[in-house]
Amino acid sequence: MIMKTTLSLLVFLLLNLSVSRGQMLETDSTSQAEISKLGFMVGKWKGAGWIMGRDQQRSSFEQTEDVQFKLDNTAILIEGLGKSNGLVTHNALAVISFNKEENSYNFQSYMSNGRSGSFKAELIENKLFWYPVDNIRYIIYINDEG
1 falls within a domain: no
pLDDT class of 7 with cuts at 50, 70, 90: very low
Domain that holds residue 51: 40-140
Q: Is residue 26 part of a domain?
A: no
| pLDDT above 70 for 21 | no
By CB neighbour count within 10 A (0-12 exposed, 13-18 middle, 19+ buried), where does 98 fall? buried
Q: Supply the pLDDT for residue 11.
A: 46
How far apart (Å, rounded) are the C-alpha atoms in residues 21 and 44? Answer: 35
Per-residue pLDDT reduced to its tens digit, 38-71? 999 999 999 998 888 889 999 999 999 999 999 9
Residue 27 pLDDT more than 90? no
In a domain, 27, yes or no: no
SS3 9: helix
In a domain, 114, yes or no: yes
Q: What's the CA gap between 70 and 109, in Å, rounded?
A: 15
**What is the number of alpha carbons within 13 Å of residue 89 lying toward its C-beta?**
16
CATH number for position 123: 2.40.128.20
Determine, yes or no, domain membership for 16: no
Q: For residue 64, is it within any domain?
A: yes
Number of domains the chain is built from: 1
